Amino acid sequence: MTEERLQDRLARLSREREEADRQYNDALTALDRALPGSPDLPAAPPTADLSRLGDLSQGWNLLPDGPPPIDRSLKGRLRGFVWRLVGPPIQTQQRFNGALIDHLNRNALPQEQTSHVLTSLVAALRAHVDAQARFHALLLQYLQTFTLYIDTRDRAVGGQTHVLDAGLSALADDWLKRWESLSVRERRLFDRVAAIDDLRETAQLAQQSSLLLKREVERLLRERPAGAAAPPPADTAATATAAVDLDAFKYVGFEDRFRGSVDDIRARLSSYLPIFERGGPVLDVGCGRGELLDLFRDHGIQARGVDVNASMVEVCRERGHTAERAGALEYLQSIPERSLGGLIAIQVVEHLEPAYLVRVLDAAFQALRPGAPIVLETINPACWTAFFESYLRDFTHRWPLHPDTLAYLIRASGFGQVRIDFRSPSPDTDRLQAVLVPSDAPPGVVTAFETMNGTIEKLNARLFGYQDYAAIGWR
C-alpha cells in the first residue's frame, strides 16, 4: 500500500470516528431530554364512613310490635280503623328501611376494602415512579462515563501500540541493515553470474565458429581433387557470400540467447500440431534449430526444413532431420505443384521484404495440396512492447506486419478460411494497475477515477497485449 493510499485510509477512518462520536452525543442529548418527570399522582381516597351504620340498623323497624291484634271492643275497633288508614304506608316505609339497611350492611365491607386497596396502590405507584426516575438518572450517568472509559482503554492500547511500534521500528532497522548487506552480496553474485554467462556465451560462439570452420575446411578438401593446383582467387561477390556463411553461427547464438531454450520453444509450438493432423509432408520454412521438426517427428508427421542459415541447417541435420539451405521462394519453386501437405513458418515473414513475401505466398499456394494448411507466426507490432522489445532487437528483421495486413495478403494469394490466433499474452505483472476508487468518494471523483481506469485499460491493450500472432489459412 502506497503512502498516499495509507493517508487516505487514515483520513477516512478519522472522519468515520468523528461522525460516530457526533451521532453518539446527539443520541445522548436526545435521551437526556426524553427523561420523563414524576407525574402528579392523586392522594389516596378517604375511607368509608360507617359510624352511623349501627344506629340505622337498630332504628329501621318502625313497627317493632307489628300490626294491632283484632279487638271487638270500641277501643279495639277504633284502633283497627286507624291502622287501616296509616298501616299500609308505615309497612311500606318499614320494608324500604329494611332493604336499605340490608344493602348498606352488604356493601360496607367491600367499600372499606376498596378504600384500603386504592391507598396501597397509590403508594406503590408513587414508589415505582420514583425508582424509574432514579434508574433513568443512573443510566444517563453511565452513558456519559462510557466514552471516557473507552478513551482510557484506547490510551492503554495506544501505549502498547507505541511500545510495539518502537520494537518493530528497531527490528525493521536491523533487518534493513541486514537487507542492505544481502543486497550488496546479491549484486556481487549477479555480477559474477553475469561474467560467467558472458564467458559461457563467448565459449559457445568460439565453439560454433570452430565447428563451422572445420566443416568448411572439410568441404573444401572434399571438393578439391588430390594433387590439383590451388583454386584461383574468388570474386568479390563470392567472397562476400562466404563471409556471410562463415558468420552464420552468430545468429545461432543470438537465437540461443534471446528466443529461449529448445524445450521452451517446443512447449510453445506444440499447439500447432493439431492443424497438421491430416499428415505431411510439411515444410518448415526457417526451421532454425529444429524444435518444430522434433515435434513433428515425435508425433509421426512427415516434415522437412529449409533455412538460409548454414549453421541452422547443420544443427538440424545433426539432430537427424531433413533440412536444406535455401531461400523460401527458391525452394518452393523447385518442388512439384500440390506436393506439400502443409507449410509453417515461425517468426520468418518479418525477415522478408514485402514484394518477396507476396511471391513466397503465391509459390506456397501452388506447392500446397487442396485443403492443406499454411501457418505464419510473427511478432505482433500492434503490441508496442513486442515491437520495441522483440522486433527492434533482432537486426535481421525487415518489415513488421500488422495482423490485418498479413491476413489480407494470405487471402489475396488464394487461401480461404483465414483466421488470426493471438499468442503469448503479456504477463499481468507488466500491465498497468487500475486505480482503486475510495468507497466514500463523491460522484465527481468516482467519475474521474473511472475515466482514468478506462484510459489505463486502453494503454494496457496497446502496450501489453498479445506479443505474437499466427495467421492460419487453408488452400
DSSP 273-288: GGGGTT---EEEET-T
User: Which residues lie below 8 Å from residue 251, measured CB to CB, with a gap of 6+?
Assistant: 309, 311, 312, 396
Question: Beta partners for 423?
Answer: 468
pLDDT band at residue 421 using 50, 70 and 90 as cut-offs? very high
Nearest CA to 21 among 142, 136, 148? Answer: 148
- pLDDT reported for residue 242: 42
Are the C-beta atoms of residues 397 and 351 closer than 8 Å to each other? Answer: yes
- The larger pLDDT score, comparing residue 461 to residue 326, is at 326
Q: What are phi and psi of 419, to 5 degrees?
A: -135, 160
Comparing 26 with 225, the larger pLDDT belongs to: 26
The grid coordinates of residue 44 equal: 389516596
Of the listed ranges 42-46, 210-214, 251-255, 370-374, the least confidently predicted one is 251-255
Looking at residue 241, what is its pLDDT?
Answer: 42
Question: What pLDDT, on the 0 to 100 scale, is given for residue 255?
Answer: 54
Residue 466, beta-bridge partner list:
425
pLDDT at 363: 96
Per the prediction, the chain carries an average pLDDT of 80
Least confident among 224-238, 270-284, 334-348: 224-238
pLDDT tens digits for 42-96?
Answer: 777 777 777 777 777 777 777 776 777 877 788 888 878 888 888 888 878 878 8
**How far is it, in rounded angstroms, from Cα 394 to Cα 351?**
9
Q: Which three cell numbers stand for residue 90?
A: 308505615
CA nearest 308: which of 281, 280, 287, 333? 287
Q: How far apart, in whole angstroms, are the C-alpha atoms of residue 122 and residue 4?
A: 68
Whether pLDDT at 5 is above 90: no
Give pLDDT, residue 58: 73
- Mean predicted confidence (pLDDT) in 456-474: 89
Instruction: Evaluate whether 287 touches 293 at the Cβ level (below 8 Å).
Output: yes
Q: What mean pLDDT do residues 251-258 have?
A: 50
C-alpha span between 475 and 473 (Å, rounded): 7
The gap between the terminal CA atoms of the chain, to the nearest Å, is 55
Q: How far is CA 140 from CA 59, 131, 135, 143, 302, in A?
A: 65, 14, 9, 5, 93
- Residue recorded with cell 271487638: 72
Predicted local distance difference test score (pLDDT) of residue 238: 40
Asked whether residue 377 carries a pLDDT value surpassing 50, the answer given is yes
Q: At what angle do helices 236-246 and 248-258 cross, to 10 degrees?
A: 30
Question: Are 420 and 403 contacting, i.e. CB atoms less than 8 angstroms apart?
Answer: yes
- pLDDT of res. 146: 66
DSSP H helical ranges for 271-348: 291-298, 310-318, 328-334
Contact 102, 66 (CB under 8 A): no
Least reliable range by pLDDT among 52-66, 198-212, 238-252? 238-252
- What was the pLDDT predicted at 394? 80
pLDDT band at 187 (very low <50, low <70, confident <90, very high): confident
Which has the higher per-residue pLDDT, 153 or 230?
A: 153
Q: Is the dihedral of CA 354, 393, 419, 369 positive or negative?
A: positive
pLDDT tens-digit readout, 275-319: 998 888 999 999 988 999 999 999 999 999 999 998 889 989 999
pLDDT for res 164: 60
**pLDDT of 463 above 90:** no
Q: Which helix (H) or strand (E) holds 466?
A: strand 466-474
Give me the pLDDT at residue 371, please: 94
Q: Is residue 4 very low, low, confident or very high in pLDDT (cuts 50, 70, 90)?
A: low
Q: Is 50 exceeded by the pLDDT of residue 470?
A: yes
Nearest-angstrom CA–CA distance, 153 and 159: 10
Residue 457: pLDDT above 50?
yes
pLDDT of residue 354: 93
Alpha carbon distance 89, 80 (integer Å) = 15
- Does residue 151 or residue 473 have the better pLDDT? 473
**pLDDT for 137-153, tens place per residue?**
778 777 777 666 676 65
- Kindly give the residue spans of alpha helices, DSSP state H, lying in 224-272: 236-246, 248-258, 262-269
Rounded to the nearest 10°, the torsion over CA 99, 100, 106, 111 is 160
